[in-house]
Amino acid sequence: MTAKIKKILVPLDGSKKSFEALDHAIYVARQCGATITGICVTPLYSVSIGRLLTSLRNESLKEIKKFMAQAKRICAQNGIVFSQKIVYGNMVSEITDYASYRKFDLIVMGSRGMSKAKELFLGSVANYVVHNSKVPVLLIK
pLDDT digits (tens, 9 = 90+) for 76-95: 999 999 999 999 888 889 99
Name the percent of the chain lying above pLDDT 90.
66
Measured CA to CA, the distance from residue 81 to residue 72 in angstroms comes to: 8
Label residues 88-109 b or e (16+ Cβ within 10 Å = b): eeebbebbbbbbeeeebbbbbb
Q: Given a cut of 90, is residue 125 above it in pLDDT?
A: no
Measured CA to CA, the distance from residue 135 to residue 17 in angstroms comes to: 20
Average pLDDT, the chain: 86
Q: Could you tell me which CATH class the domain 7-11+20-140 is placed in?
A: alpha beta
Reduced to 3 states (helix: H, G, I; strand: E, B; else coil), residue 4 is coil
Domains of the chain by residue range: 7-11+20-140
| Nearest residue to 93 via CA among 41, 25, 29, 49 | 41
- Name the pLDDT band for 109 (thresholds 50, 70, 90): very high
